[in-house]
Structure 1
């Protein structure tokens, strides 16, 4: 199976697939500056907490790599203090592109720690810059391996849970929300990685996925990934989750996360909370799959997680291919953006994320293992971070 990818690298070139145009048009955009990376993240040309952290770190590394090769070298490489004064505002700027996604903050803080370690060790500006370049690249490189680890942990845990409930652990049906596959990460995926693992090991019957309005990451991106991987799947609109649970045997719900608080409260794409409420009603295991970089131990609970609100206009618009299709000379379908609401509505509520309380979550999976609630009904995440 050949997975899709969100970022591709060649020598000094960084390109991202424009996810706003998928699944009908595959357009690769070159990201040549920090400002372009910020815009791509902010406008959701690239999305998914791990993927945006990777792009930010790679672009930061590219910026410093070019400076190290420049002749004459830029002034900010003249001293460690000058370097610090140059890169700190860049890292702060990149963080502002999507503040809910803790992976991005972790990446910028990691690079800040590398900078400070070099300063404390008395290294010169070039040595510190080289260390920052190396660390930035590692942010992206580490993602694929840990995704495979958490997919296996979560998949095996779900199989055992089904067996404990009297099933045979075969022909599992799993629902997911939003897009958490290779397009949202540096490869393989988190929650969609769990589904992929079950498919690869012959344990999956069918994947179900919600459209995830208003950006439709499910029906545009998850649909494309599952089709590419040839995984049997069924799309539902967001309001059909309750009906699905009433009329079909669903063995588990697997979702990703943009931030997990210390107590297990989890921020994820809007619509996750309602899926968790319905899962609890139907006694279906609800699994959060995310790397340890998504766990924010500095936040006690979900009430302190910042929730990004997107521009109200976005909730009134839908982008897609014209139907019947119109194809250009390159084989691309013509696309359009249409408004589905009256003009000038008085109020539009458009949060990009919601917070699922820990009490509704059955398990939290990272690359370190699976955390479940203890006898006191609380998560202890110490063993998985």
Structure 2
């Protein structure tokens, strides 16, 4: 099976894999406008904090490239002030697509800073556009390298921790939540990257992953990625985590993050907090793996992290392939969306994320290293890893 990817650019086209159809259908859809990029992020055709940041940046680059190629150029190319106002409106619009994921905000702010620095340098709109295009492509390109760095840091830290407690550092069992692999990033992944690194270095025995309701990103996407990488793995429902910890030797839980507050409180896919509480009860290390761009030093603690609530209907529906498998005229698996609840429920609680307090987190890993709490403290000093 070819390497999985969430975004591809070729022949002047920007495309994403429609993650709502995975794992049964691999369909790439073109994103040719800013509005289409916004919709792809908002509707979760693409998801994962690093991936949506990359798409937003590349969509801006594609938009500017299209306008540079126009013979006369649009009206907002007519002055620096008009150009700045137009681009800032676009960046603000894209940022509102998914407010919890700090990477999206980091990407739009980075482009805004480049916009201002190019203006301050006295450049004209066309030159400023070229600077923004280069910066946007860099935002996407640097993701794979940093993912491999953090995966190595986290994997080696876990191996040494197990050894320090009398273990061999081999035959490790690691559980994860949601999807944090190549489909959630520009490649390799964060928490799933750590698991991949342990597999590649011969230290992993088995990966465990939760279904991750309500969108089943674990059972749909993580399962698909682990299968493609030939990594031994086992799926469990979100409510089975406690049972898993009771009956199996789990060496760590590794999760990603959509935002990390200054004290180490971490927002991640709903169900992460549950897993952290159970991990603490069973003395299992709980590791957060995320890029520096996910750390938001302007937010003191988890109470300041905005939590996105998805439409209630999403928690009532499940989409998948018909079973037994039914193929259409083109040999593609037929899929359907079904309702698993009574119609007209008057109350549905459907947050996308929860916040795990720093006190339940053992280590936070970025591409710059591993942070642990000082003895007797419940919060992190993230200074060395941001």
Same fold (TM over 0.5): yes
SS at the partner of 1:198? Answer: helix
- Is structure 2 residue 29 aligned with structure 1 residue 29? yes
Task: Identify the residue that residue 143 of structure 1 maps to in structure 2.
Answer: 143
Task: Identify the residue that residue 89 of structure 2 maps to in structure 1.
Answer: 89
Q: Which runs of 4+ in 1 moved over 6 A?
A: none
Contact kept, 8 Å, 1:2 with 1:229, in 2: the verdict is no
Rounded to whole Å, the distance in 2 between the matches of 1:133 and 1:81 is: 18
Q: Give the superposition deviation at 1:38.
A: 0.3
Task: Identify the residue that residue 255 of structure 2 maps to in structure 1.
Answer: 255
Contact kept, 8 Å, 1:171 with 1:204, in 2: the verdict is yes
Q: Give the superposition deviation at 1:2.
A: 4.6
Rounded to whole Å, the distance in 1 between the matches of 2:77 and 2:345 is: 52
Task: Identify the residue that residue 368 of structure 1 maps to in structure 2.
Answer: 368
Question: How is 1:210-249 mapped onto 2 (pairs within 5 angstroms)?
Answer: 210-249=210-249
- The count of aligned residue pairs is 385
SS at the partner of 1:310? Answer: coil
- Is structure 2 residue 66 aligned with structure 1 residue 66? yes
Task: Identify the residue that residue 116 of structure 1 maps to in structure 2.
Answer: 116
What is the TM-score of this pair, normalised by structure 2? 0.99
Rounded to whole Å, the distance in 1 between the matches of 2:171 and 2:5 is: 28
Structure 1 residue runs without a partner (length 5+): none
Question: How is 1:176-215 mapped onto 2 (pairs within 5 angstroms)?
Answer: 176-215=176-215
Query: More displaced, 268-277 or 317-326?
Result: 317-326
Q: Give the superposition deviation at 1:376.
A: 4.3
Structure 1, residues 132-189: CA drift from partner, whole Å, max 9, x if none?
A: 0100111100000000000000000000011111100000000000000000000000
Question: How is 1:331-350 mapped onto 2 (pairs within 5 angstroms)?
Answer: 331-350=331-350
Task: Identify the residue that residue 276 of structure 2 maps to in structure 1.
Answer: 276
SS at the partner of 2:212? Answer: coil
Rounded to whole Å, the distance in 1 between the matches of 2:165 and 2:234 is: 25
What is the TM-score of this pair, normalised by structure 1? 0.99
Structure 2 residue runs without a partner (length 5+): none
Q: Give the superposition deviation at 1:329.
A: 3.2
